Structure 1
Amino acid sequence: MILVKQARVLDPGDRGALDVLVAGSRIFAIAPDIPTPRIPGVELEVIDGRGQYLVPGLVDGLVHISGGGGEGGFAGRTLPLLAEQALAAGVTTVIGCLGTDAITRSHSDLLATARALQAKGVSALCLTGSYALPAPTLTGSIERDLVLIPEIIGLGEVALADHRGSQPGWRELAAAAAQSRRGGMLAGKRGTVLLHLGDGQDPLAVVEAVIERSEIPRNQFLPTHCNRSPHTFQAACVYGRADGNIDFTTSTTEAFIAAGEIPAAHAVLLALEAGIPAHRITLSSDAQASLPAFGSEQEMTGFQVADIASLWQAVRQAVLEYGVALEVALATVTANPARIFGLESRGRIFKGGRADLLLVDEQTLALATTISGGQVRWGRERLPG
């Protein structure tokens, strides 16, 4: 058991200073003052939360958990995510997917990596498919993957407006989204379709055509990389004002920013100022992806590796540098992605919810402690039990 004493609880709304008792992998009690329980044979760890926020563990909606890259040949392949990386960054839930490479990368390896992360304290889920349509799958269809494999919760990341994608038309995207939606309904999942937006003009035109010409609702989709360029951001703002969900990528490079990418922290502020409802905005790290540089003929000339630590760094920057309210910034990496992907037990702090919690400094927002699945996985601030 773990008892966190007198931390300021953000759920992500501010609930004031409270005690939170964790038993097993769940939150057992939340109250102004919880007496220290004494149960024979049960070890209790007491954590001093004074001067700290207690916030939900981060939900990262786009991570290449089994490694990504490959656009520049075999030397451009990136390594799988380590559980220690995620936990040290405050990320307790990751949603893994394939990207450009669905030839040397497979859904079997993606699923095995997710289960390895789970064994080490990170709640790991997966998407079927990849950049291309028709979508590669594990069982032979999008629907069967969602129905038969517990960890698979949606489809993606399907590439649009990108030279690395399969250039799908609206009918192809609508058919894939319908399969994900139907499989999700049968399995009690959301079946969210994650869309990778590239550098092309009018990046959401195909999505708008699906919404206009089919029965697929707008909230079936989550476009990501919406801060890639000014024109992509503007298209995302139009989409968001129409009650669409949008996602900004926190991993970046100086070259990307110089080419027009909007840092995710700034994009959150600009989106709010543009009238996007706060609950429609999410952040994801794109961790373990290659961040490629391309030459004049679209050949890759080098790359960096996306960092999962950028997720919390972007939240801190949004609050400390751009003046975004902490509750709003926090929701972009907790309650919002949890809701969009249908993960009801995550992203909030409530009795009976998953005990995925972070302690962060009230002044600097520096991460101090990560609790995942009811266990302290990184950092410790203790009182005698």
Structure 2
Amino acid sequence: MTVRDWQGEADARARACLTAVAPPGDLWLGAMLAEHGAAGVWAGLVAGEPPPSVPVEEDEDPDPEAWARLRRRWDGWSAAAARVDPDGLLGESAAAGIRFVAPGDPEWPGRLDGLDLPGGRRSHGLWVRGGGDLRNLCLRSVAVVGARSATAYGEHVAAEMAYELAEQDVVVVSGGAYGIDGAAHRAAHANGSTVVVLACGLDVDYPRGHAGMFADIARTGVLVSERPVGATPRAKDFLIRNRLIAALTPGTVVVEAGRRSGALNTASHAVELHRVLMAVPGPVTSAMSVGCHVLLRDWQAGCVTCADDVVAQVGAVGELPPESGPVRVSAHLDAESARVLEAVPRAGAGPAVVAAASGTSLDVAMRSLGLLAAAGLVERCRAGWRLPR
């Protein structure tokens, strides 16, 4: 059996197509997928069939007007589904170096399962770009977020904190925006790996000024999105995206935030998901620190000023695995993963080299490396992947 069996492949293919027609985190779609499976829901959309009967969000028996709105939503998805070419979507994504990761895949981050709680906006699947393994990177991670219109103080604190977190093998997750996000990504990437969560297709550089940074990060880290190739960001997508930033990590640090900053939205998701919430204090005269002070005063956020504070806050509740050695889980290797493991040298090699040596495709090699990393059988290094020391 390969990493995905044929049923899993059909489910992942359907989920990839659904990202092209339905908004991320849709509660109704999530309920349908849980009840009927992605392949069945997608087949119904393509065929123009009526929506399957499932509980509608929190209302078991919606009134006729509410059902009419849902039916119009379904009909819109169905019309869009008729225009989707699954082979073209997956082929264009692969050509851009973008892969699709579905729930149950070796690279799927287990923390996202927290979004499956009642009322949670679960993720239907993720588009991933980069040489890192998403699940492995998120095992020991922290979100660092804040204002786009950051002050010099905020960018300095974010950069210093991210650099020191990377020094302690903690991966920084953020949203790729200007200001605090960008400062954190650049510093973390300079000393380790980082994860960028975007609200657009991964072939769309937004913001445009971070195109070079995104390309650099993709070499060792990853870029993640719920939107397919070619999708440009819409205002509502940023708020929906923020729940992923909070869900992927055991803790979120807000470095700077105005009273209406989007970083406060990420903070609210962290609280809902029972993650550790932290904030950096700033000058009482700074409008960019008002949101942080609200978090400290009213939300009982932990007060942090450096990386050691962050690790102490998150580690205190046992959410950060120890630095010494990879996290190990039980694993029964399939034939392809076993070949990939045999092809990994002790000195380390990139995924393309491992794929060629094992006689597998790059996509299969990367998925197998993710499974092997989760089992503690391989680990990241500067050259790519190596056997653990």
More strand by share: 1
More helix by share: 2
Q: Highest relative contact order (Cα 8 Å, sep 6+), 1 or 2?
A: 1
TM-score (ref. length: structure 1):
0.30
